[in-house]
Amino acid sequence: NYLFYLSMLFAFLVKMPMFLVHLWLPKAHVEAPISGSMILAGILLKLGGYGMIRVFKLIISLGMNLNFIWMVVSLLGGFLVSLICMRQVDLKSLIAYSSVSHMSLVIAGLMTLSYWGFSGSYTLMIGHGLCSSGLFCLANISYERSGSRSLLINKGMINFMPSMCLWWFLLSSSNMAAPPSLNLLGEISLLNSVIGWSWGTMFFIALLSFFGAAYSLYLYSYSQHGELYSGMYSCFNGSLREFVLLMLHWVPLNVLILKGEYCMLWL
């Protein structure tokens, strides 16, 4: 039974990914083309969480006793990954590590085995799928213009690509779960479930929320503000295709909160 529990759960924990088995994700995102990154962030990571929701029906009795291990690892790991985010200089790497941080909160919610935890993790996975996919798209748009993913070169972009600055702000703010994004609904439900499971988790949840806002602001302010890199010499705005692509990420992300019952009442 223990072997069945571990083998069923570990496949999905690596896919999510949980801290300690997360190192493949930043590597995969940095090496992948834009389409690969967007599909990986938007769909494939979420399959890990959805699989875990489905599998818990089979292993719920063992989960009652052993889930606290994964809860501790994911909350502590999410905090450590948030700190790693704060010292990234690669755009795609930063967004990839922020995915690990968000997914650790989802894992913690799933491990509570409560209704709030399941519906909150489901909601946050949908919100984060739209949000991180849009951020990878933006990072690629900057990369096509500047030829580099480094934040040291992609700074002062508000002067170079003024029309993209709004999209950077909208998606970065959604990434830190600002209203009215779907991430807010998911995070509130997850906070409810994890703190209801144990009061001791409150400290780590607070750190996760705080640093989530911190690295999102770091990503936005460092890439948009400051002095333009001296190697850039012409202004180039986005094309219609790129704006439509970003709009199709941002609109569902912020409109779906009006239909929150579809996310919260699905079980």
Position 130 scores a pLDDT of 97
Position 93 scores a pLDDT of 97
Position 88 scores a pLDDT of 95
Q: Is residue 49 within 8 Å of 18, Cβ to Cβ?
A: no
Task: Please tell me the distance from the alpha carbon of residue 155 to that of residue 27, in angstroms, as a whole number.
Answer: 23
Position 62 scores a pLDDT of 86
Position 35 scores a pLDDT of 95
Task: Please tell me the distance from the alpha carbon of residue 151 to that of residue 174, in angstroms, as a whole number.
Answer: 20
Position 186 scores a pLDDT of 96
- Taken in order 187, 192, 198, 204, the sign of the CA dihedral is positive
Position 120 scores a pLDDT of 95
From first CA to last CA, the distance across the chain in angstroms is 26
Residues of the chain whose pLDDT is less than 70?
Answer: 267
Structure tokens that stand for 9 in this block: 């759960």
pTM of the model: 0.95
Position 236 scores a pLDDT of 77
SS (H, E, C) 91-154: HHHHHHHHHHHHHHHHHHHHHCCCHHHHHHHHHHHHHHHHHHHHHHHHHHHHHHHHCCCECCCC
Position 137 scores a pLDDT of 97
Question: Mind listing the pLDDT tens digit for each residue in 44-84?
Answer: 999 999 999 999 988 888 888 899 999 999 999 999 999 99
Question: Mind listing the pLDDT tens digit for each residue in 206-241?
Answer: 999 999 999 999 999 999 999 999 888 777 788 999
